[in-house]
Amino acid sequence: GEDNPEVQQAHERGIPVIKRAEMLGELMRLKFSVGIAGTHGKTTTTSMIGKILRHANLQPTLIVGGVVAELGTGATLGAGEYLVTEVDEYDRSIYSTFPSLAVVLNVEPDHLDCYRDEADLLDAFVSYMNRVPFYGSVVLSADDNRLSGVMERVTRPMKTFGFSPHADYRAVDVVLEKGQSSFAVFCRDEFLGKLHLTVPGRHNVANALAATAAATELEVPFATIADALAEFTGVGRRFELVGTANGITVIDDYAHHPTEINATLSTARQQFDGRIIAVFQPHLYSRTRDFLPDFVTSLAAADQCILTDIYPAREEPIPGITSDRIRQEAQKAGYDHFEYVGKKENAIEAVVSLARPGDTVLIIGAGSITHIRNDLLRRLEAE
């Protein structure tokens, strides 16, 4: 805010004070910028593209919203001509960005506190794609119904990716195994080659396909793409293994939208045989209100669900909207495996009393719930 001493000093010295999104947009004009937008998968896909371009010795500059495992940071400055960045639609900041190559992974209603309605949100994505220069291009999902509905409004050169037979870049013969996957990639009718990933889940196949499409548009050879993705080790808090204690596995995941929770739980089912205990801290009162029935449905896929208080982030409380509402709605729908525990620290005791060897504990949420992970692991070790 304006009372921040650094901001005050900047004003006194005549140094520009701008929002992060505005600065990012201006940095994007310095280089050939690859912007990755969408409701889910941005951080992972941005990290994958960064990995591919580094592997191709293109020395990209990378700006992501999470910590890239092998870099230990969320940003690196490169000497090359490419800037690869995540583009967030929150706070309408997507309007400040100027990509040379625009990637759109998917669009779902979220951040509706910043947009009038779904049409307003879609307008933001269309505007983002149409800000690409005439020499640039757009890469977007062929599997997303909302994007399919606005494709004809995109006036820039466009390529699609997905599982759909109509996609330009297609994943075929997908094999999902514990903790990994492999699939063949076609560009139209041309077989490009096979990809092998060591990050789990079908959603990561889609992310890798988007990264492959973007890198191919930048003329990176497929062999380089395949080598880079085979070595990709993931992003912090994206299905991250915290550790194992007394036969109980603890995973930390950033999922905060029902679609992401579905992906996280189905990945856990593919990878682990025992019971799944989900510890969920909802993120934002408005999101909890807007997706209440969807949270119940997605979390019901766990064998036990422990709910902590909502993480408010930037919001004031909304009357009647609490974590316990999720439990109440679950009970009405006939689910009796939801438990509300209040403070996030209380979740540790709840897990310790429930968990037994062979179980997997998923810590889920975009807020402060991640801070219990090490204490939880220590308590499980001490049992």
User: Which tens digit of pLDDT belongs to each residue from 93-145?
Assistant: 899 999 999 999 999 987 677 899 999 999 999 999 999 999 999 999 999 99
Residue 238's SS3 state is: coil
Count of Cβ atoms closer than 10 Å to residue 130 Cβ:
13
pLDDT in tens, 311-323: 999 899 999 999 9
Residue pair 338/311 in contact by the 8 Å Cβ criterion: no
- The rounded distance, in Å, linking the Cα atoms of 296 and 15 is 49
Give the tokens for residue 118. 């779904």
Residue 7 amino acid letter: V
pLDDT of residue 21: 86
Q: Give the CATH number of domain 240-382; options: 3.30.470.20, 3.20.20.10, 3.90.190.20, 3.40.50.620.
A: 3.90.190.20
Across the strands, what pairs with 319? none
Residue pair 208/48 in contact by the 8 Å Cβ criterion: yes
The answer to whether the 5-230 and 240-382 domains have the same CATH topology is no
Positions in the chain short of pLDDT 50: none
Residue 341's SS3 state is: strand
Q: Let me know if 223 is exposed, middle or buried by CB neighbors in 10 A (0-12, 13-18, 19+).
A: exposed
> pTM of the entire structure?
0.91
The residues annotated as belonging to the active site are 42-43, 86
- The rounded distance, in Å, linking the Cα atoms of 144 and 140 is 9
Q: Does domain 5-230 have CATH number 3.40.640.10?
A: no
pLDDT of residue 281: 99
Q: Would strands 248-253 and 360-364 be described as parallel, antiparallel, or unpaired?
A: parallel
pLDDT of residue 110: 78
Listed by start position, the domains of the chain span 5-230, 240-382
pLDDT of residue 72: 80
Q: How far, in whole angstroms, is CA 370 from its chain's centroid?
A: 16
- The rounded distance, in Å, linking the Cα atoms of 191 and 198 is 22
What DSSP line would sit under 147-199, residue for residue?
A: HHHHGGG--S-EEEEESSTT-SEEEEEEEEETTEEEEEEEETTEEEEEEEESS
pLDDT of residue 114: 87
